[in-house]
Structure 1
Amino acid sequence: MIHQSFLDLDYCARVSGCETCRTFRRAFILEQITGRDVEFLTNPDLQSPVYAVLRIESSGDRLLLTSTPTQKPSFAATVALNHEPRHLANDPTKSGARLTTDFQELRRVVRDCHDNHECSSRYRWSRRNPTWLLEIMDNNQVRLVRGPKSLVDYVVLSYSWGDPAEMPAAEWARIKGAGTKTRNGIPVPERLNPFSAWDLPETMRDAIDITKELGFGYLWVDNVCIPKGTNWDTEASLMHEVYGNAAFTLVASSSSKATDRMIKERLAWSHRSKAVKLRGKWLHNTQMPLDKIRLESPVARRSWTLQEERLSPRVLYWTEQRWYWSCPESQVAELEELGHVRPENKSMERRSPQLFLELCRTGDIEQLHEEWLDIVEAYTPRDLVEPRDRFLAIAGLAVRFYSAKSEAGGSFISEEYLAGLWRDNFARHLAWSVAKGANSRHNLQHIAPSWSWASLPLRMETKTKHAFKPSEHFRFISVVEEKEDSEKAMTGPNFTSHDSLSRGRTMEERGRGVKVVDVEGRFRRFVSDNAKQVSWDAIEWRRGKRVGFDFGAFPGHDLFARHEADGRIIAKDAHSGEIVGQLDYVVPDEALKSPFTPYVPCGGEKEIMCLELGESAMLLLVRNPSWGHQESYRRVGVAISYENRKGFFYGCETRTVRLA
């Protein structure tokens, strides 16, 4: 134990000048991404003892600093142990504490990318500007202007509006009120004429200052530059141009809401740093991985920001204590380089935010599909203020995906966008699963079909990446739609255009409305008619960390069991291996009043049918009672990697199945 609390540690570093405690204090603060995180760290009501735990690793010994040594800590940090002292090339405390950002260093990094990298020439989508831009003027004045005819260097802000449930109504009203109003379809004069940047929320104000400090004269902010009354669907499908053509995207990782400041005093550097030795080893602060910032900042909890990041060739991440720069050729953090983003170790390549754009450029179709699955897995845990924007928030990614395949395969390709999935690899895309059964009360099956991940409630963790070998018996047949809608979608000017962008926009708009498809594959019951239901506890066994099943108490019986808490379901025939499936929804405490139930009711397990997708992947389905006379099925779950029952579909009929 180092100190009784972080506040004691901070006092020791500040008053006694203890270099060890200064190093430990800096480590804790550098781990805090947002200003709110720093406030929690220093909150007198949230204090606990500070421990240091030695970790001996092949990559180097480390001290893990933690608030509790045994259970999940409320805060933690890492300090590296070296044989030699390590000095920062640009130590902000060298000539006294530097509490503000060194924009000179950041300007050098941005200029180096512009002058010496191929990022712009390789990844810039076109020479079109956004429809509206915020022009930065002198005396802290800005104004809304139409994007010039020739491309200008502009910055895009990616930020979190915040959760309206977690802030006063007046604060949320101020954030919403920052939007540009229109009169007769034109922005009001109050925005077209110069106005004070102080009229905007704090995150936007600081983004304006950062943009100006870096020598750029234009900023694009969604709430300001998409005037009210604009066709939101059209603007959403153009996001790959807005972000792809920008000088860079500024990600406000430090802000939990639009009223948070970005430019603040950086407390990690309030004391001068000095090399310090502890029991024969030199201590130095470690670099927070960029992946942690990308995945754990408040911005990462907002659905819209996923495509903002993945469509941006250059990204500047702004955290509470330092900035990080990422482009296709390098990653740099304030004070030190992180190194190139394309190492020989291919498994590390996914750490690059620009991997999606790289695959679109190279036309690696197989890897592009894998990257789409990664996008889905990153997208489903995020939140939306308006659930109806479920598809719009990734529309730009879908358009860019389609355009990449179109350019790789010629003007006309067979690919179709199907409610968040893609036709050319449909079986693979259908094989998503939930980490745990969801509460069915919050399902979005009024927005998307049951077979699409988009029908799940918001903030759901999903799994999309697993070994998959498609079944030779599975085939996508067609989209089922009204004849009038079909003719309108397939014969419009954009669909027949030779411009991949126009076709992509039409394909995305049509795809988000797909509800019913016909497929073909081997089909059978999941649970046999004479199967006996047993409790989950009766068959599950645990040996330390190992978990498995023991069916010894039920010899010669077909059986099934269901885990009520997480939605797992198991089916086993008397003398064959078991199959463990995952239901999308658990049974709610109170049955829904509506006759439509996306979950399998207790006692309805024998109604589950299954459709083979791959050699060890199947959809779990139940008959859809709401489709009239035409037989159709809705998805209720999936079973993946059933190695104990590879011959489950042997000899089963192949039939056409309508999925709704």
Structure 2
Amino acid sequence: MLTQPMPESHVLSAMRALGNLLRASIPGSGLLWVLSDEGFPLQCKGCGEICELLRWGEVQRRRDSTFRGSSPPRIVHNSYVELDRCALETGCDTCRTLRRAFLLEQITSHGAERLGHAGNQWPIYAVLNLGSSGDSELALAVKSPKAVLYSATVHLTNDVRAVARNSRRAAPGPRPDLSALRRVVDDCHRNHECSSRYRWSHRNPTWLLRILPDNLVQLVAGPSEPVDYVVLSYSWGDPATMPAAEWARIKGAGTKTINGRPVPERLNPFSVRELPETMQDAIAISASLGVFYVWIDNVCIPKGTNWDTEASLMHEVYGNSAFTLVASSSTKATDRLLYDRLAWTQRGGACRLRDLWWLHNTPMPLDRVRLESPVSLRAWTLQEERLSPRIVYWAGQRWYWSCLERQVAELGESDWAASPADPCSRSCPQRFLELCRSGDEELLHEEWLDIVQAYTRRDLVAPRDRFLAIAGLAVRFYNAKAANGGAVVTEDYLAGLWKDNFARHLAWSVASAVEPRHNLRHIAPSWSWASLPLRVQTKTKAPFRPSAHFKFVAVRRVEAAEASYALARTETGDPSTDFINRGRAVEERGRGVKAVEVRGRFRRFISDDALNVSWDGIERKRDGRSCFDFGAFPGRSIYARNKGNGTILSKDAHCGEVVGQLDYTIPADDKPDQHPAPYVREGDEREIVCLELGELAMLLLVPDHDWGRPESYRRVGVAIGYTNRKGFFYGCETRSVNLV
């Protein structure tokens, strides 16, 4: 006998009743549901708040199908720990999606762990953002009364096909899928042209670690024939933030020498456990991927080695490697790379709500991993990345692969192939190598400026390595310009700048004036960005059109390196050796350049009759922008200085203003007897003179009387983009000056 089907309303009532029973049966979990009528996923009452946001979005779209805007925030859980418990105990699909979103935002393993720390337990707010084109997202934030501690994004879609494609992918486990990574690496080596295009030479590094069975490794001389090896790019860590014993262990991993040879303890097989954890796991990953040689700077550059020589060979070490393994998840060398990744300890895929919306996670963009990981703050790792044709980024919750032809995120969500016509059609770290190969001079100079901007914000344990940490990039740049069939090479390396586009390279600026006490004038001249303190944000890529009046004249002072420069420039008869030696010699000499002579239009920055006025007296805010009001000073020449951020303004009577940016602030303990000061003291602004670099770009200079030669000036800032005073240099004299 057939029975009539139960009405849908009765089914829902039965499910609610069952939910009440289950809720009552879970001790201490009054916050939890397990069933819902919102498309029948497992849910909790916090997810009901998200459904309210979705209802709000549906109402807006019914009123206006192109509506774009954000909902009021709603609290979906009282803390991350509560969210984590809900996802675990109830299997709530929505909470698992939200939990994973927070974890996927963490680049390091420590970041994921900190989500659960007691001091970070504040309410989780959600806001629905509706885009005009139909794209939508949930913006999540853990907010304390003072700040947003963590944020994350969950994406929404109505495209069932995309959700189905994602659901068919195998979910990762807590441990990385090294078999999938090996397929990606092998595919590049078999089917791409990365090796044939970008391998620099057939030479191996001077020393390599060979991986042996039974967790043993051995330091060996680089074989005479090319071998596959992995380079580890990692952060040593900040000695100020770790116990002294831990820092001693990291430094102690270095290879000692006796009479210039590595000690027997390294030349004989030794246990990988003698090395810090990041190195141990890098060795394990390399072996799992079928590569049995590894290069690690601290181990493979023995103490007492000529560091200058090794630094200038970095373009070979990285360019010839099978790939570079970037330890993006590590904050220091004692962090593990292989651990259970919290984002994947709970299974769960896309989640459907209200029959209309699918919630799903997306991987963090590779650019964020590159720019925000701890390793990106270490100066040495910049050239390690830019000189590597193939890179594995090892992030906190997944790995990423990048080569000239393809980028892949674990699970394949970010898989893309480069255009054959333009291998760098999307952002990729190998752009510098591609431009060196193609020889596009203008773009290559732009890329160098990008390198400078990325480099100056980074840190160095030893400031004396300021130039050494990019020596490999400089050698590669010069050789790209010199690879022209033996023609005369006009390019020259000048303390981090390049002669053929010198005016453009001089036009760098600081984002805001910096404290001067830790400047590096003992390492580089004032006109070089390398003279700035470490960890400074710079701007190098403002629009620039060179002045027809500016000319580089000559190098006037070089310290050291001249003898080795002359020797290295001597031709040996071996084209390959001569080519490499020339690049290394030019880079080595360039580090020692201290003064140059240039020629250009020249004038004073501030008129003799200018009145000094307060910055607050002329600055106004309009529509969130800064502007100026000179109504209180009709017909007067004036100047003003913002002591906070170092901006300085000069305005001649009846003319437009010029706003410059000074490099340094005035320190609180400024003493007039301290000479020479790298900054402009208060009251000395009238000493500033200007040298035209481009149509709307000038150097700000002050006389330097210590060098002992007339017409010598040191840089104190720059002015760029002064559209209100395009004729600032009209009729001015052209002079030759020495920049020191």
Which bin holds the TM-score, normalised by the shorter protein?
A: over 0.9
State whether structure 2 residue 127 is matched by structure 1 residue 47: no
State whether structure 2 residue 322 is matched by structure 1 residue 242: no
RMSD of Structure 2 on Structure 1 (CA): 2.0
Instruction: Work out the CA distance in 1 between the residues paired with 2:490 and 2:378.
Output: 32
Instruction: Work out the CA distance in 1 between the residues paired with 2:565 and 2:119.
Output: 62
SS in 1 for 2:483: helix
Show CA shifts across 1:446-493 (max 9, x none): 1000000000000000000011000000000000126x9696366324
Question: Does the 8 A contact of 1:51 with 1:69 survive in 2?
Answer: no
State whether structure 2 residue 414 is matched by structure 1 residue 338: yes
Q: Percent identity?
A: 63
Instruction: Work out the CA distance in 1 between the residues paired with 2:152 and 2:419.
Output: 26
Select which of 566, 576, 581 maps to 2:655.
576
Q: Which amino acid aligns with 2:585?
A: T
Instruction: Work out the CA distance in 1 between the residues paired with 2:410 and 2:205.
Output: 30
State whether structure 2 residue 71 is matched by structure 1 residue 7: no
Alignment correspondent of 1:231: 306
Instruction: Work out the CA distance in 1 between the residues paired with 2:153 and 2:202.
Output: 45
State whether structure 2 residue 390 is matched by structure 1 residue 390: no
Show CA shifts across 1:545-590 (max 9, x none): 1221010110010000000010000000010000000000010001
Instruction: Work out the CA distance in 1 between the residues paired with 2:151 and 2:113.
Output: 15
Select which of 638, 641, 655 maps to 1:562.
641
Instruction: Work out the CA distance in 1 between the residues paired with 2:562 and 2:524.
Output: 21
Alignment correspondent of 1:535: 614
Question: Does the 8 A contact of 1:3 with 1:51 survive in 2?
Answer: yes
Select which of 104, 123, 145 maps to 1:30.
104
Alignment correspondent of 1:491: 566
Deviation at 1:340, TM superposition (A): 3.2
635-644 or 82-91, larger mean C-alpha shift: 82-91
1:109-258 matches, cutoff 5 A: 109-258=184-333
SS in 1 for 2:76: coil
Instruction: Work out the CA distance in 2 between the residues paired with 1:319 and 1:67.
Output: 22
Alignment correspondent of 1:425: 501
State whether structure 2 residue 394 is matched by structure 1 residue 314: no
Q: Which amino acid aligns with 2:625?
A: R
Instruction: Work out the CA distance in 2 between the residues paired with 1:341 and 1:547.
Output: 43
Instruction: Work out the CA distance in 1 between the residues paired with 2:571 and 2:554.
Output: 19
Q: Which amino acid aligns with 1:658?
A: N
Instruction: Work out the CA distance in 1 between the residues paired with 2:653 and 2:318.
Output: 57
Name which one, 1 or 2, has greater alpha-carbon Rg: 2
Q: TM-score, normalised by structure 1?
A: 0.97
Question: Does the 8 A contact of 2:363 with 2:413 survive in 1?
Answer: no
Alignment correspondent of 2:626: 547
Q: Which amino acid aligns with 1:536?
A: W
Question: Does the 8 A contact of 1:632 with 1:657 survive in 2?
Answer: yes
Question: Does the 8 A contact of 1:341 with 1:352 survive in 2?
Answer: no
Show CA shifts across 1:291-330 (max 9, x none): 0000000000000000000000000000111100000000
606-615 or 69-78, larger mean C-alpha shift: 69-78
Deviation at 1:205, TM superposition (A): 0.3
Question: Does the 8 A contact of 1:89 with 1:336 survive in 2?
Answer: no
Instruction: Work out the CA distance in 2 between the residues paired with 1:584 and 1:347.
Output: 37
Deviation at 1:78, TM superposition (A): 1.1
Q: Which amino acid aligns with 1:37?
A: G
State whether structure 2 residue 323 is matched by structure 1 residue 271: no
337-346 or 150-159, larger mean C-alpha shift: 337-346
Task: Pick closer, same or farther for the CA change 1:154–1:640 going to 2, 3 Å.
Answer: same
SS in 2 for 1:656: strand
1:572-651 matches, cutoff 5 A: 572-591=651-670, 594-651=674-731
SS in 2 for 1:2: strand
Deviation at 1:53, TM superposition (A): 1.2
Alignment correspondent of 2:522: 446
Alignment correspondent of 2:431: 355
Task: Pick closer, same or farther for the CA change 1:381–1:113 going to 2, 3 Å.
Answer: same
Deviation at 1:599, TM superposition (A): 0.2
Deviation at 1:402, TM superposition (A): 0.2
Deviation at 1:274, TM superposition (A): 3.6
Question: Does the 8 A contact of 1:89 with 1:335 survive in 2?
Answer: no
Instruction: Work out the CA distance in 2 between the residues paired with 1:343 and 1:431.
Output: 33
344-353 or 212-221, larger mean C-alpha shift: 344-353
Question: Does the 8 A contact of 1:315 with 1:325 survive in 2?
Answer: yes
Q: Which amino acid aligns with 1:242?
A: V
Task: Pick closer, same or farther for the CA change 1:24–1:362 going to 2, 3 Å.
Answer: same
Contiguous gaps of at least 5 residues in structure 2 = 1-74
Q: Which amino acid aligns with 1:565?
A: G
Task: Pick closer, same or farther for the CA change 1:404–1:439 going to 2, 3 Å.
Answer: same
Deviation at 1:342, TM superposition (A): 3.7
Deviation at 1:90, TM superposition (A): 8.3
Q: Which amino acid aligns with 2:435?
A: L
Show CA shifts across 1:201-246 (max 9, x none): 0000000000000011100000000000000000000000000000
Question: Does the 8 A contact of 2:565 with 2:589 survive in 1?
Answer: no
Instruction: Work out the CA distance in 1 between the residues paired with 2:146 and 2:547.
Output: 45
Show CA shifts across 1:600-638 (max 9, x none): 000000000000000000000000121124331000000
Alignment correspondent of 1:515: 594
Instruction: Work out the CA distance in 2 between the residues paired with 1:346 and 1:561.
Output: 48
Instruction: Work out the CA distance in 1 between the residues paired with 2:167 and 2:126.
Output: 28
Show CA shifts across 1:47-94 (max 9, x none): 211111112233721111112399862211111111134156587875
- The structure with higher relative contact order (CA 8 Å, sep 6+) is 1
Question: Does the 8 A contact of 1:100 with 1:264 survive in 2?
Answer: yes
Task: Pick closer, same or farther for the CA change 1:409–1:504 going to 2, 3 Å.
Answer: same
Show CA shifts across 1:121-148 (max 9, x none): 0010011000000000000000100000
Alignment correspondent of 2:359: 283
Task: Pick closer, same or farther for the CA change 1:614–1:197 going to 2, 3 Å.
Answer: same
State whether structure 2 residue 461 is matched by structure 1 residue 381: no
Question: Does the 8 A contact of 2:362 with 2:413 survive in 1?
Answer: no
Contiguous gaps of at least 5 residues in structure 1 = none
Deviation at 1:38, TM superposition (A): 1.1
Task: Pick closer, same or farther for the CA change 1:203–1:432 going to 2, 3 Å.
Answer: same
1:60-71 matches, cutoff 5 A: 60-68=135-143
